[in-house]
Every structure is written in structure tokens, then in C-alpha cells.
Amino acid sequence: PPNVWADKAAAIVSSAGGSGGRRAQHHLRQIGVFVDLHFINKPEFSINGHELPTKFDSEGNLVDPETKERLKKVLQALQAFTLRLQGR
């Protein structure tokens, strides 16, 4: 105590092979509910980081323009949801 996670807005993003990222997201949502996090529902974001065309450069930086735009939408939704939870 106190629960520092309670009533915080959250989003989950993943980059994995196959369906592992989506399964991990589902499990993180279950854990988040237990600690009173509030997740955005949309947009969801999961990419297969190993499929072509390559989404990341050799240093691990996200370089795919379409994926960057999708991630930007997730972050914008998280910001709007955070402000809504704060009553703004």
C-alpha cells in the first residue's frame, strides 16, 4: 500500500512473432484489472516484428512509417483517455 497503479490509464503494445504478443497483451490486461489500471480498448497494437518488410533497423529503432503512424494513434488515444480520467 498504497496501490500506485490504481486509477491510472494504460496501453499495451507488443512486437513478437506469431500470436505471442497478443497472448501476452491479454494476460497483462488480466493483471492490470487486478491492480485497478484502466486500459484503452482501441486501437489495439501488436506487430510481428520479424515479418517483412522489416519494422526495425539494426539498432532496434522503429523505422516502418505505417507502424509509426499506428503507434502514434495508440499514444494519442492514451493521452485523451488519461485526460478524461483526470476530468479534463
pTM of the model: 0.83
Give the residue numbers spanning the domain of 46: 1-67
pLDDT of residue 28: 94
pLDDT of residue 65: 94
Region 10-23: mean pLDDT is 86
As for how many domains the chain has, the answer is 1
Residue 40 lies in a domain: yes
Q: Read out DSSP for the chain?
A: ---TTTT-EE--EEEESTTHHHHHHHHHHHHHHHTT-EE--SS-EEEETTSSSPSB-TTS-B--HHHHHHHHHHHHHHHHHHHHHTT-
For residue 40, the domain's CATH number is 3.40.50.360
pLDDT of residue 70: 95
The predicted-structure confidence for 19-75, as pLDDT tens digits, reads as follows 888 899 999 999 999 999 999 999 999 988 777 788 999 998 999 999 999 999 999
Residue 73 CA, distance from chain mean position: 10
